[in-house]
Structure 1
């Protein structure tokens, strides 16, 4: 009775008002996880000029405002627009133009896919990505023997799934000028009997990349648009692009300014002299859709290719330590330059040696900085005693599906002691106060529901292992949603404009077909995105 009386009073008061307030959109009949400071839920909210105008319950909002449009969620769940805090947008788009080798179960399957691709495309240079020898019955790195036989006159370059190893044929080696005498710090040309096998790890791959055919402007736009489509279909409204060159960043900006790209980007500038000279001198670049204020640096390589820099040899390959792509001395000089420019430094660190090098440099350089929010990207294997160096100044940016992709072989690679400091997301959260979540796509799948499931359940998509991989390092659902929204926004210095559904923030939100905060945990990966909104405009709908 009291509730009815209250609603009648609201109706009388508001209906007596001379004019309703004009607004663009009412979102109603939803279970809205606002992800505000109290983690409140709501049923409806109002959008005007691309921003949240009011959050509340449906009756009072419908009486107060006059709407141009209404979105009825029909009881579905709405969360703030999802943010992928570590990904490679251009790389994702490129996978749509090249040989997709993700999920191949043998080297023969890789070869079959390359043959089929070439029959269709007749490419002058065959480029592919996605193989992972850890998924094969014979878990050995491939060689160029078969590629030479199949493609003696056409260069072939096939990147490993993590992007830190590459198998190429003799023609590609010839074009790149790579021989048995080629030596580069931060990587290796793998030899057998004194001759290149065709396998390259980290830095020598750059020599091959420099021989790729030049991309046209039209092709580059197609790559970005293809990637954007995939992101929007998966409910992403912001992507942290972990390493982009000047050309790509400027192309993204021009597309966004012309209305040809809706997706918001937090672009980390790739660490090269050309990029640093341009952006660090130019200063922070900030629009409503683009934020350029950070530099992406590679500390070491990847665990899967044994390129991650380890303090002690790999357990499954004595004598192999991995390698630093950027030495600690070089990291320190870079850090000083980046800090002086007012930029954020985000450094890839997989191995325990790389992580302590990055942490030591950050700790020293940031002593007098008040709010740097520098990130360790991946923070994958951290010696437990080193975790204390994470703080509100030094944030972990991790990818939960890396844990569930690597769990089958990671302990064999680094041993039972070092695994205790690996993929330790709860420990990192407890130390720094936040943990930032992403996918590293196209290394992993784009789907953020897989990220959510891996973080909470610590299982793969087959629900293995039953009790979860190192389950004590799992996150709660609330922590996980924060890591994909407000904490990711905070790490980008954007917490006042996105990351939650609150008054004054961008009307970026994602509509899901079920409540990921309450459903049975193993059903989380099958959650579907029904719609994606950016600035209150529907940029994807599953009904289209």
Structure 2
């Protein structure tokens, strides 16, 4: 008997001493792993920035030990959230300009501009976020008040979708834009032959050329501001839909110096100098940065009537919108990019733009496999064109666009055409996955609003009753996948992130509530209580 107890004691001592030392153990959690089986767990072990084990609390405690342990107190944990389409640097830039989001009238826009200029005087006033569709008078504004208040100071106010400017006469003069200026791929809006100050899509480039460039310090601050906002919402990877070489290199240098930690999937802006550099250089990949795609603009936005439609706008006879990038250029770009390892990600809103992009993809990718090219937004699709997504093309969509646009989308598109708009379930059924994002700062940063819009198809006031075109709502499981593993797959990163599995980066979020089970109307109120990136707490 003494020998028996001796052997048991030795076995216990041996089992304790053979526990593997890890950096962090999280236990007593409600974990949605988002693995292939969409399995659940209650504990995770983390070492060297990666998950080493996932299982139940008793199992993990028997095999691992750590000086740092976290009792999750039953809270819900999901993989680090990925925003599959946003403007990360643009969000940071917005923190330095007049915030016009949520303005209810043009008078309020003017008031905010005046107040901002009094507080932070600038030689060139910039603002972003106005949306005439939110105003009682749903017409484009004009520059008259800006001319009166700021006759000698240029002003450029960007529409919320980034596809239109309202500028004053001073800015027009600096850019050399007159009533006789001709344009392609957009519109210089006039009334009775006179400039209104509204520029849609390509003409905005003339204004951009006269806006003073940001200093290095301002660029760094913008990136850090955007990171803090993103991490606060549980985003651990952001797909920035269009960056220049200098900002990509700045992100890399800040990450290498430990001054920026959020992971960035950088889409290279479609400018000759960017393509000449990156396509020749090839894929750039670190743990924090992935550069392997090109962002192309097909057309404009529906809200500013710049989206390219096959038939005229229902609320503007004779107006079709416009292609920002001509059809022949999209086709040539597709051929050029297909000859490299880069991915092509093209903004396409209108049904005309979407079919142009889909046909160009089909032709360029003939005989090629696993290229994962994306259609960014895929917003209005003709019923006959959904089948293109069966061929490995990934729809990258933003659910809050549906709930932002639903008040006027049918006015723009008509009763029949709107049925093919914001059709996320139809796209999922054809493509097998959807990558979900926000398009922030066009929409709010909150991924919880993304989740809510995808499953409930309502605004936060629960309008409309029963949801907007609910046949295209996503399930909660599909939505979480779209914000994690499917987004990671669309980035060629499914082996390193997107689910809580051994060997992947220990990026995860602890939610205030169980987003998978609470009533739908409570989803917008969920918060990211704690955020971990590479096993290190960032919030």
Normalization by structure 1: what TM-score? 0.96
**Cross-structure match for 1:74:** 73
**Cross-structure match for 1:158:** 157
Whether the aligned pair in 2 keeps the contact of 1:300 and 1:308 (CA below 8 Å) is yes
**Cross-structure match for 1:439:** 438
Task: Confirm or deny that 1:312 pairs with 2:311.
Answer: yes
**Cross-structure match for 1:258:** 257
Match of 1:306, SS state, is coil
Per the TM alignment, residue 12 of structure 1 is displaced from its structure 2 partner at its CA by 6.3
Q: Give the whole-Å Cα distance in 2 for the aligned partners of 1:13 and 1:37.
A: 36
Match of 1:390, SS state, is helix
Q: Give the whole-Å Cα distance in 2 for the aligned partners of 1:457 and 1:211.
A: 44
Single out whichever of 231-240 and 209-218 deviates more from structure 2: 209-218
Gap change, CA 1:14 and 1:486, over 3 Å in 2: farther
Instruction: Give CA deviations for 1:136-166 in whole Å, capped at 9, x if unaligned.
Output: 0000100111100010000000010000011
**Cross-structure match for 2:5:** none
**Cross-structure match for 1:198:** 197
Per the TM alignment, residue 391 of structure 1 is displaced from its structure 2 partner at its CA by 2.3
Per the TM alignment, residue 393 of structure 1 is displaced from its structure 2 partner at its CA by 1.8
Q: What pairs up with 1:374-389 in 2 under 5 angstroms?
A: 374-389=373-388
Task: Confirm or deny that 1:41 pairs with 2:37.
Answer: no
Whether the aligned pair in 2 keeps the contact of 1:166 and 1:199 (CA below 8 Å) is yes
Q: Give the whole-Å Cα distance in 2 for the aligned partners of 1:75 and 1:373.
A: 37
**Cross-structure match for 2:511:** 512
Whether the aligned pair in 2 keeps the contact of 1:373 and 1:392 (CA below 8 Å) is no
Gap change, CA 1:191 and 1:14, over 3 Å in 2: farther
Normalization by structure 2: what TM-score? 0.97
Cα RMSD (Å): 1.2
Q: Give the whole-Å Cα distance in 2 for the aligned partners of 1:508 and 1:360.
A: 37
Per the TM alignment, residue 16 of structure 1 is displaced from its structure 2 partner at its CA by 2.9
**Cross-structure match for 1:4:** none
Per the TM alignment, residue 90 of structure 1 is displaced from its structure 2 partner at its CA by 1.0
**Cross-structure match for 1:3:** none
Gap change, CA 1:15 and 1:402, over 3 Å in 2: farther
Q: Give the whole-Å Cα distance in 1 for the aligned partners of 2:273 and 2:536.
A: 37
**Cross-structure match for 2:407:** 408
Task: Confirm or deny that 1:120 pairs with 2:119.
Answer: yes
Per the TM alignment, residue 14 of structure 1 is displaced from its structure 2 partner at its CA by 8.2
Q: Give the whole-Å Cα distance in 1 for the aligned partners of 2:11 and 2:123.
A: 73
Which structure 1 segments of 5+ residues have no match?
1-8
Whether the aligned pair in 2 keeps the contact of 1:15 and 1:63 (CA below 8 Å) is no
Single out whichever of 89-98 and 481-490 deviates more from structure 2: 89-98
**Cross-structure match for 1:28:** 27
Which structure 2 segments of 5+ residues have no match?
1-7
Instruction: Give CA deviations for 1:246-270 in whole Å, capped at 9, x if unaligned.
Output: 0110000000011011100000000
Per the TM alignment, residue 194 of structure 1 is displaced from its structure 2 partner at its CA by 1.9
**Cross-structure match for 1:346:** 345
Whether the aligned pair in 2 keeps the contact of 1:458 and 1:468 (CA below 8 Å) is yes
Q: Give the whole-Å Cα distance in 2 for the aligned partners of 1:12 and 1:324.
A: 73
Gap change, CA 1:249 and 1:14, over 3 Å in 2: farther
**Cross-structure match for 1:139:** 138
Instruction: Give CA deviations for 1:215-257 in whole Å, capped at 9, x if unaligned.
Output: 1111100000000000000000000000000011000000001
Per the TM alignment, residue 368 of structure 1 is displaced from its structure 2 partner at its CA by 1.1
**Cross-structure match for 1:6:** none
Q: Give the whole-Å Cα distance in 2 for the aligned partners of 1:401 and 1:89.
A: 17
Task: Confirm or deny that 1:473 pairs with 2:472.
Answer: yes
Aligned length: 531
